[in-house]
Structure 1
């Protein structure tokens, strides 16, 4: 992996946290920053717990709206709609 040198400005509390963490893990500060960025990037695509619960509620509401009728009835309705579309639409003018 090729490396590019960059400069960041951190507040003193963040720098102290970085130094303590690097010392405790016996890793260079640059490795700690790289790992932190990779972890953060992996998390950003995920839903928060609040978002996840909201999506589940929406899903449950949508599932409840699915009609519980026989498959044959649904297929007959679809066939009727397709036949109407193939027939060319209205045969009389609207007034």
Structure 2
């Protein structure tokens, strides 16, 4: 099993109930980003990104610009993430 380093983002603010996951899904697919997004029980959203450093910087820039319409990101943090190769982007439940 091959693993690669990615980045796991934990995003806080008005990020549930505003279409964050579905808009992120469409944005990621339009931009060739691989990974997944899911709601967390504490009201935050987790966003796992598999790709190059450039892909990860692109996602950080998008989050810093406010992310998807309707969301209000108060803050986020991220950590390195070791994962198997991910071929696409998905919404997880």
TM-score scaled by structure 2?
0.21
Question: Which one has a larger percent helix, Structure 1 or Structure 2?
Answer: 1
Which structure is larger by alpha-carbon Rg, 1 or 2?
Answer: 1
Question: Which one has a larger percent strand, Structure 1 or Structure 2?
Answer: 2
TM-score scaled by structure 1?
0.21
Bigger relative contact order (CA 8 A; separation at least 6) = 2
